Chains A and B, each alone.
Chain A
Amino acid sequence: GESVGLHLPTLSVQEGDNSIINCAYSNSASDYFIWYKQESGKGPQFIIDIRSNMDKRQGQRVTVLLNKTVKHLSLQIAATQPGDSAVYFCAEKSGGYQKVTFGTGTKLQVIP
């Protein structure tokens, strides 16, 4: 059921600054990772993905870094804008399995 008092970790960033959102994963068999953005009351929106044979991938204003040694994933957003305010989830998938497992999420607040 619904949990009372549970708060997402929040990252507050000044508009124009760079944001770094971190994620730790536990399944060493995961070989595909995705970052999603979820705005309030909406479904998740794909941002960027990375396969385990890579350690960095860049998109438009976003970069994902993967460190398999410590099972850590990060999303970097350059020149953060108010429209970037949302909850960001990392998700992982392991080979042979279709389902995607979501992490806990981080709320990004952009201060104008």
Chain B
Amino acid sequence: GAVVSQHPSWVICKSGTSVKIECRSLDFQATTMFWYRQFPKQSLMLMATSNEGSKATYEQGVEKDKFLINHASLTLSTLTVTSAHPEDSSFYICSAMQREGPQETQYFGPGTRLLVL
């Protein structure tokens, strides 16, 4: 199947700093990518839908000015957590949508663990 990568796989930062996470579709083009957040022992919660060449669509309750999303190319979306605080510590997972005719399949990245001190 198709491969999605994330970088970094883990990051530790100080409170108040910004952290950028990259999501890449390695062997296919993805006009649509998704960003999820997962707290321990919980399910994945969709944060936003990232569309190539246009603004991201954020889910209710997700601050767009805090979680900046840029989908600059067909293989790359970035999530920047601005002015990170300890409560932003979580597992961030992206997925990329592969379209083959009428079939749409989401492939997930390996996740990025963020710890804010």
The residues of A with any CB-CB pair to B shorter than 8 Å are 1-3, 6-8, 36, 41-46, 89, 98-105
Contact = CB atoms under 8 A, between A and B. Distances in A.
Contact of B104 (A2, A43, A98): A98
Contacts of A7: 41
- Which 9 A/B pairs are nearest by Cβ-Cβ distance? A43-B108, A1-B87, A102-B44, A102-B43, A44-B108, A43-B111, A43-B110, A2-B39, A43-B93
Which DSSP category, helix, strand, loop or mixed, fits chain B's interface?
strand
Nearest to B46: A99
Nearest to B91: A41
A105 B34 contact: no
Contact of A2 (B34, B89, B111): B89
B40 interface: yes
A3 B39 contact: yes
A7 B42 CA distance: 8
A111 to B, nearest CB: 21
Given A89-B43, A98-B97, A45 B87 contact: no
A8 B41 contact: yes
A99 B34 contact: yes
Interface in B48-100: 49, 87, 89-91, 93, 95, 97
